[in-house]
Amino acid sequence: MADDASLARLTRLVRVSLGFNLVLLVVNAGMFYFLLIFVVNEPVTVEGASLRTASDASLANDGDPRAEMKLFFKEKTQVLDRAARRHGTNPAEVVPSPGEIEAAVESRTMHSPESEIVLQKLKEGYDYYNLTWPVAVPGL
């Protein structure tokens, strides 16, 4: 009888141990997955430089200032959007609207009132999330 009770107790301890380890495995797998989303999905940037696709580069090289401005605003908006989402903030509160960006791009200069509004909103967002503002801004 004593052996049956010991065996039952040992079996129960093994089951509890396996269950606990299974729960830890699921939690660790979930944490690893979310870590990959935030770390691997973040593009690598070097101060003053960024990765561009071939289509983005061809847009910026056609001599039209709008293409370069659009590319600049797109890159800075994406960085700010990711930072806002990472901090649990609604990106619409800190990222310029597509209409504001389009008006700035159509002005063809970074010195227009429309561009100043977009640049100011981007700078405030970068400051709020402690991001590094680029050294070079097209047209400035």
Tell me whether residue 123 is in a domain.
Answer: yes
- How do residues 79-99 score in pLDDT, each as one tens digit? 999 988 888 888 888 899 999
State the pLDDT at residue 38: 66
Rounded (to 5) percent helix, strand, coil in the chain? 70, 0, 30
The number of beta carbons lying within 10 Å of the beta carbon of residue 79 is 22
Task: Give the count of domains, the chain.
Answer: 2
Residues 9, 60 within the same domain: no
State the pLDDT at residue 89: 85
Confidence of residue 59 (pLDDT cuts 50, 70, 90): very low
In degrees, rounded to 5, the angle at the alpha carbon of residue 48 between the alpha carbons of residues 44 and 51 is 40
Domain that holds residue 93: 54-128
39-43, 57-61, 76-80 — most confident range: 76-80
Whether 127 has a pLDDT exceeding 80, the answer reads: yes
Residues 26, 58 within the same domain: no
Pair of tokens at residue 124: 């405030």
User: What is d(CA 96, CA 77) in angstroms, rounded to the nearest whole number?
Assistant: 8
116-132: b (≥16 Cβ within 10 Å) or e: eebbebbeebbeebebe
Tell me whether residue 121 is in a domain.
Answer: yes
Report the share of the chain in percent with pLDDT over 90.
34
Closest CA to 138 of 42, 58, 63: 63
Residues 74, 115 within the same domain: yes
Calculate the average pLDDT of the chain: 81
State the pLDDT at residue 3: 84
State the pLDDT at residue 5: 86
State the pLDDT at residue 134: 77
